[in-house]
Amino acid sequence: MARLSQPRQPRYSTGKRRRTSARRRTGPVGPTPARRRGPAPILIIAAVIVALIFCWIFGRGCGGNQEAQENEKLRQYTSDVNKLITRSAAVGSQFETLRNGVQDLSRDDVAGKLDQMIVTNKEIAADASKVQVPSKGEELQPLLQLSMDLRTTGVDKYRAAVLDVLDNKNVDSATATMSQGYMDLVVSDAVLQRFRGNLDTKLKQAKLSFEKVADSVYMPKTEQALESAVSEYVGELTGEETGDELHGVAVVGLSVSPARVDQTESGEAILPNSKTFTVKVSVQNQGNQTEDDVPVVVTLESDSGGSPQKKTQKITRMKAGETSTLVFEGLTPATGSDTVNTLTVNAGPVPNEKMTDNNEMQMEFIMRAEGA
């Protein structure tokens, strides 16, 4: 019997996907791969040993390399402080010139010059505080700073004192203040010398002895800081004499060029023949007062006759104890072994000079004839 076939019903989609019976494959099953490891400890140790050997060979050890760096810093420090000391030395030279020439300057000039010195000294002291100090210089730097600071205060005290003296007010107080200022400068010199000595030692220890430390001195004569010496200095500025007046100059040196090559039996010097003849005379103020316009006369005579030759010069100013040297030219000695020349030098006398026996010096000589 034939089967009746049922017509196929149409299928409608619900919008959902069917799940497949097969599960998602996650990959092959097996042991987890091992992580990458760094170099073995033995390699690290070997690398450290190689580094140490390299450091020792090329830097005399790591510590030696550090020492070399510290020495280089010390060398640079020396260079930096030398610039400061050189600047300070320049101011010191200006100060010494002014101190010895106050009477030749106006009050305004003195004040202006000293003001500039003080400003410069303050700048130097400030720059000293900014210097890069190496570990080897830490104990030295305070000495340098103290020296520069004292120079500022010393010049400042001198300024205040000398202006009072020039204004003729508070002279006694000004004398004490000036002495204090000088003492500051004396101490600054001593402190700087200690700094220089210690830094020289450090440089030698670092095998840098070729590096030299600059020098600077404000008060080369420390006794000038004493109040008694300052009183004399102030007396010269004010025109007031101190103690008993003593006036007197003396000829303390006489030489000629050409120089003596022999001597006669009677004591005359024998000079070689020369177309030029120069006389050098040294005169000293042996009193305790300043002397002005001291005349010095050189006279040349010969026993062969003729008029005496005479040359005159003046020493503008001589402070007590000061020695001045003059050179005379233009004199022509007679020549020949039978002719004796007499050279006479006279200095002064100065006003109120009582002892004049040392005001003259004489020399007799023979000048050989040409070709003799």
Burial bucket for residue 14 (CB in 10 Å: 0-12, 13-18, 19+): exposed
pLDDT value of position 238: 75
Q: Which of 346, 75, 341, 331 is nearest to 208 (CA)?
A: 75
Q: Report how many helices (DSSP H) and strands (DSSP E) the chain contains, helices first.
A: 6, 9
Report the Cα 262 to chain-centroid distance in Å. 45
**Residue 166, token pair as written in the block:** 């020039």
CA atoms within 13 A on the CB side of 143: 16
Domain 249-367 CATH (choose: 2.40.50.100, 2.60.40.10, 3.40.50.300, 1.10.1040.10): 2.60.40.10
pLDDT digits (tens, 9 = 90+) for 191-245: 999 999 999 999 999 999 888 999 999 999 999 999 889 998 998 887 655 456 7
Nearby residues of 133 by Cβ (< 8 Å), 6 or more positions away: 77, 141
Mean pLDDT of 290-316: 95
Question: CB–CB of 328/309 below 8 Å?
Answer: no
Instruction: Give the whole-angstrom CA distance, residue 345 versus residue 44.
Output: 94
Report the Cα 8 to chain-centroid distance in Å. 123
Q: Which of 79, 95, 69, 176 is nearest to 132 (CA)?
A: 79
Mean pLDDT of 315-334: 94
SS3 state of residue 270:
strand
pLDDT value of position 240: 55
pLDDT digits (tens, 9 = 90+) for 126-181: 999 999 999 998 999 999 999 999 999 999 999 999 999 888 788 889 999 999 99
Domains of the chain by residue range: 61-238, 249-367
pLDDT value of position 22: 44
DSSP alpha helices (H): ranges in the chain? 41-59, 61-100, 107-129, 141-166, 171-205, 227-238
Q: Tell me: pLDDT of 369 over 50.
A: yes
Higher pLDDT, 365 or 43: 365
Q: Tell me: pLDDT of 5 over 60.
A: no
Please give the share of the chain, as a percent, with pLDDT higher than 90: 65
Mean pLDDT of 16-32: 50
pLDDT value of position 2: 44
pLDDT value of position 61: 46
Is beta strand 323-328 parallel, antiparallel or unpaired with respect to 249-257? unpaired
